[in-house]
Amino acid sequence: MKKIIVAPSILSADFSALGKDIAMIAGAGAGWVHIDVMDGHFVPNITIGPVVVKSVRKATSLFFDVHLMIREPQKYWPDFRKAGADLITFHSETDCDKMRLIKDIKSSGAKAGISIKPKTPVAEIENMLAYLDLVLVMSVEPGFGGQAFMHETVPKITELRNIIDGGKYDCLIEVDGGINAETGHLCARAGADVLVSGSYIFSSSRPEDAVRSLSEIKK
Ligand code: DX5
Ligand code: ZN
């Protein structure tokens, strides 16, 4: 049995003490840091830019999982790579040359991921699975932390797992939105490799225990 990778979303962390919160999640066994980048156009919210990523890069050696919820990922991804992103995930629903973007991100030495919103079918990205390092299945509408998990997205995780295993693709499945110990189990059972979690961890009175409750989930 392989272990789940836990990727706490710092969107729900204390921005006046990001270094401290990141040290806490690292100590509790999180492998990745999930960084939600929103531009006020692709989603109705504005969050973190490259300067913040560059600054927190100095505070940790954890793997930086940057989730771009922005309209022109092809224009801005290099700034996040330079700031220290290890994985750059952009949205399938953006209007850009996706294969080109995947190739460019990978040739920078970073991993490349693509994300699908809850209503976007797996078929939209199926032809790119051989080239991708990760597919991010959104289990809430992107834009805000703290939303309820959409159970109707679970069959897409199963579908992706079957296609990835069938094609022997080297591509992880990450799930993002409304993840707690209960919904995390559902996703792991359906085939998820990486669980993003924000409010469940950072709003908990015992955030370390919340991280552990996810990292103990078996695949
Ligand atoms: C939503 C973001 C998520 C979010 C997760 O647009 O992509 O990463 O911060 O937060 P929770 O776990 O609170 O749903
Ligand atoms: Zn995210």
Kindly name the residue from 36, 65, 133, 193 that is annotated as catalytic.
36
In short, whether 207's Cβ falls inside 6 Å of ligand 1 is no
The DSSP-derived string for 114-160 is EEE-TTS-GGGTGGGTTT-SEEEEESS-TT-SSPPP-GGGHHHHHHH
How do residues 152-198 score in pLDDT, each as one tens digit? 999 999 999 999 999 999 999 999 999 999 999 999 999 999 999 99
pLDDT surpassing 70 at residue 21: yes
Q: Which of 21, 65, 133, 176 is catalytic?
A: 176
Mean pLDDT score, 50-56: 97
Tell me the β-bridge partners of 65: 34, 87
Instruction: Please report which helix (H) or strand (E) contains residue 201, including its range.
Output: helix 199-202
| pLDDT exceeds 80 at position 1 | no
Ligand 1 atom at shortest distance from the alpha carbon of 143? 6
Ligand 1 nearest-atom number relative to CA 67: 7
3-state secondary structure of 102: helix
Residue 214 and residue 182: Cα distance in Å, rounded? Answer: 9
In this prediction, residues 9-23 reach a mean pLDDT of 97
| Residue 181 and residue 203 in contact, taking contact as beta carbons nearer than 8 Å | no
Of the listed ligands, the closest to the CA of 117 is 1
147 lines ligand 1 (CB under 6 A): yes
- pLDDT tens-place string over residues 119-162: 999 999 999 999 999 999 999 999 999 999 999 999 999 999 99
Residue 135 and residue 129 in contact, taking contact as beta carbons nearer than 8 Å: yes
What is the pLDDT at residue 2?
Answer: 80
